Structure 1
Amino acid sequence: MNTDINSKSSLLIIDDFLDNIKLLLSFLTDAGFKVLIARDGEQGIKTAQYAKPDLILLDIMMPGLNGFETCQQLKQAEETKNIPIIFMTALTDLNEKIKGFELGAADYITKPFQHAELLARINTHLSVIRLQQQLEKRNLEAEAFARTVAHDLKAPLAGVLGLIDVLKEKFQESNVVDADDIENIHLIEQSAKQMNEIILALLMLAGVSSNQEVICLPLDMSGILQSVLHRVEYIRKEYQGIIEYPKEFPLAMGYAPWIEEVWANYLINGLKYSGRPPHLIITANIQNNYVKFSVKDNGQGLSLEDQKKLFIPFARLSNGDHTGHGLGLSIVQQIISKLNGNVGIESQIGDGCLFYFTLPLFSETIH
């Protein structure tokens, strides 16, 4: 018996059969739980919303709201949807059990039940809850750490980039420096800008991975793209890339700061890992109630095996020239998923890659 879990846990029994309630109340209280009682579904829902028990034991066969209806309402309410529910039933019909799981039940226990079995099932689900809570706490701590580190690095790195600009101006005015000096300062500048991109990605990842709520608005995609093109200009110049894009875009719904990061990832990857020189073509078209935005490159394309790895964090592709795709594209996928869209790639060996993302089309009838 896990007395540590029991002494800190509350259970709600929803059952109309008094003898069953008395039996469970005595047994579970002796086991160390705090036990709450409700005699019908409506009372059970109110008690769950008020007391927020750690777990609910719910009888199926009850007058008024039956167990299935009670479970459905509990799972639809924000304050009770995450409370695990164990059905107590004399029913052995498989379809009934499947129905309960589809409504969100965590488990079943069949009457007449053995005390040891019931206690084991309760402790199992309470342990899962504790582990989930610990994991969520660790994730929040990791996100906060990543955000803090990235934020603290951003300011000094901006200072480094500013000093590099000062040195470049002095080099241009000096007759002492040679070609090697100029090349070295150029390499320092490129490294600093790459570090800045990594910091921006960390900050973006921390924000996207959190429970941060964003308001989706109609996007000025032309303005967003112009900002991104300015941001990636140093890479475009380095690789002597060509970027074609339309003057106007269909009006889509989204969150502008996140969409800027999506475009930045797609364009940086396209400039670094496609043809030489890279040639990128940006397009946008309406498909049903969505807008599909895409970047087509002139690279060698990717195999189906490598395409499956692209949006997996830290995945390495079989072609060593493409190792930079992984983390950035995993952030892209998280962003677009939160904005109710999809991401993907269309590619054939020898015919380049087309990376795309979709966003809901703006509709004046809705907004």
Structure 2
Amino acid sequence: MNIETKKDTLLIVDDNPDNISVLFNYLKRTGFKILIAQNGERGIEKAEYGQPGLILLDIMMPKMDGFEACRILKSKKNTKDIPIIFMTARTDSIDKVKGFKLGAADYIIKPFQHEEVLARVNAHLNLYKLQQQLKIRNIQLDAFARTVAHDLKSPLNTVIGYADELVEICTEGGLLDDELMLQLKSVAKAGHKMESIINALLLLAKTRKSEEKVEMQPLDMSHIIAQAQERLIYTIKGCLAEINFPTTFPIAKGYAPWVEEVWANYISNGLKYGGYPPHLELGAETQDDDMICFWVRDNGQGLSKEAQDKLFTPFTRLHQERADGHGLGLSIVQQIVERLGGEVGIESEIGQGSTFYFTLPAK
């Protein structure tokens, strides 16, 4: 992709007039619009109102050095994404590592080599533009997906409502023969499955929005698990599952509606891929790092290392012949738990069942 850079704006922040003059004259000739600041404070101000496409920032400046200016720029909402290239006469790796940790995109070494400066500037400008385009596309895609999902839910709820009502009426009155009754139940089941997929996609989209805040509160885990089980009551009864868990749990912090979704997915996964009948054990323990590990252990056939590596990939199902699902559950679990500051994982051996776990911060 060839991205035009003729009208791009660069900000040069340096207290040395000679350095500014060298860069200004060369970059101006190559078609850039140039802003100049001779100290860190002024550089931050110009970055905020000028919104340059890239900042060339000297490290060694009086009062506020380049590292501090970079830290402040990366902490502000309207400047945090602007790429910063540090300028320095020092080649110490310690300085470079410090700069990269603060969010710098690159370094150029004094005395300047014009061709190198231009190449690095153009490379990071192009990358920055592509990132901004991707961000816009993601916002548009998210808005489109939410609109489509909500528009689908209204007529789908009508279909599900009528289908469920017809199943109930025909069952009580014996109005249909067995074959037609089976077909009617299939319609209702398909409607509920479509609703589950739409809800899963909406939840996945919500958890992927990094700017959306969730309030972390102490969790009543026993109550949350009870609610998750209530959602799965027909499946639990249908497969004659046995589920055991302690009466009390260590208190973790999280967002209850999302944590309920984690348990619902883990328990549902255990019901699908556990033994015949499924026997699930739920538990928790406090770790040394102030995190609490919660788990669901099943009596299934266990998973190979290769299968474990695919588990949390969206739209992946390991046993196509056994389970009727859409392959989003464990991907959603991972998105949720990482947003809440924890991690997910599995311990499994062939023939020994599987233990799916997730961690959350302790209260």
Q: TM-score, normalised by structure 1?
A: 0.89
8 Å Cα contact 1:298-1:352 kept in structure 2:
yes
Cα gap change, 1:269/1:352 in structure 2, threshold over 3 Å: closer, same or farther?
A: same
The worse-fitting range, judged by mean Cα deviation, of 281-290 and 88-97 is 88-97
Look up the SS of the partner of 1:5 in the other structure: coil
Report the 3-state secondary structure (helix = DSSP H, G, I; strand = E; otherwise coil) of the residue aligned with 2:4: helix
In 2, the alpha carbon distance for the partners of 1:140 and 1:56 equals: 26
Structure 1 counterpart of 2:312, which letter?
F
Cα separation, 2, equivalents of 1:233 and 1:152: 29
Cα distance, 1:340 vs structure 2: 0.6
CA distance in 1, matches of 2:248, 2:93: 56
Q: Give the conservation status (yes or no) of the 8 Å contact 2:3–2:126.
A: no
Work out whether 1:55 is the aligned partner of 2:57. Answer: no
Task: Give the corresponding residue for 2:125.
Answer: 126
Report the AA paired with residue 39 of structure 1.
Q
What are the within-5 Å matches in structure 2 for residues 146-165 of structure 1?
146-165=145-164
Aligned counterpart, 2:193: 194
CA-CA distance at 1:198 after TM superposition: 0.9
Q: Deviations over 1:205-227 (max 9, x none)?
A: 11111232111112232332232
How far apart are 1:77 and its partner, in Å? 4.3
- Give the whole-Å Cα distance in 1 for the aligned partners of 2:255 and 2:236: 25
CA distance in 2, matches of 1:207, 1:17: 48
Native 8 Å contact 1:311 1:326 kept in 2: no
For 1:247-258, what aligned pairs fall within 5 Å after superposition? 247-258=247-258
Q: Which 5+ residue runs of structure 1 have no aligned equivalent?
A: 363-367
- 2:220 counterpart residue number: 220
Q: Which residue of 2 aligns with 1:236?
A: 236
Amino acid paired to 2:285: N
Counterparts of 1:1-367 in structure 2, within 5 Å, are: 4-7=4-7, 9-210=8-209, 211-288=211-288, 289-315=290-316, 317=318, 321=322, 324=325, 326-362=327-363
Superposition RMSD in Å: 2.5
Identity of aligned residues (%): 54
Give the residue type in structure 2 aligned to 1:328. G
- CA separation of 1:177 and 1:96: change in aligned 2, threshold 3 A: closer
How many residue pairs align between the two structures?
A: 360
Q: Residues 316 and 164 of structure 1: is their aligned pair in 2 closer, same or farther, counting only changes over 3 Å?
A: closer
Q: Distance in 2 between matches of 1:255 and 1:310?
A: 24
When residues 279 and 187 of structure 1 are mapped into structure 2, their CA distance, relative to the original with a 3 A threshold, is farther
Task: Give, as a single letter, the amino acid of the residue that structure 1 aligns with 2:115.
Answer: A
Q: Distance in 2 between matches of 1:168 and 1:48?
A: 65
What secondary structure sits across from 2:212 in the alignment? coil
Give me the whole-angstrom Cα distance separating, in 2, the residues matched to 1:188 and 1:255.
Answer: 34
Quote how far apart the aligned CAs of 1:310 are. Answer: 0.7
The CA deviation at 1:302 is 0.6
- Aligned equivalents of 1:221, 1:94: Cα separation in 2: 48
Give the Cα–Cα distance (whole angstroms) in 2 for the partners of residues 247 and 194 of structure 1: 32
1:77 and 1:116 mapped to 2: Cα distance?
31
Return 5+ residue gaps in structure 2 as ranges. none
C-alpha displacement of 1:319: 7.5
Aligned to 1:365: none
**How far apart are residue 50 of structure 1 and its match?**
4.1
CA distance in 2, matches of 1:79, 1:60: 22
Q: Does the 8 Å CA contact 2:197/2:326 hold for their aligned counterparts? A: no
Distance in 2, Cα, partners of 1:130 & 1:122 = 12
- Shift of the 252–324 alpha-carbon distance from structure 1 to 2, 3 Å rule, reads same
Q: In 2 relative to 1, CA 297–186 (structure 1 residues): closer, same or farther, beyond 3 Å?
A: farther
- Supply the AA of the counterpart residue of 1:299: G
Once the two structures are superposed, what CA deviation does each residue of 1:264-306 show, in whole Å capped at 9, x if it has no partner? Answer: 2112211112212222222233224222221111110111221
List per-residue Cα deviations over 1:331-356 (Å, max 9, x = no partner).
Answer: 11111001011111111111211111
> Aligned in 2, Cα 1:199/1:125: closer, same or farther, shift over 3 Å?
same
How far, CA to CA, are the matches of 1:107 and 1:55 in structure 2?
Answer: 11
TM-aligned CA deviation for residue 156 of structure 1: 2.2
Tell me, in whole angstroms, the C-alpha distance in 1 between the residues paired with 2:200 and 2:3: 44
SS at match of 1:81: coil
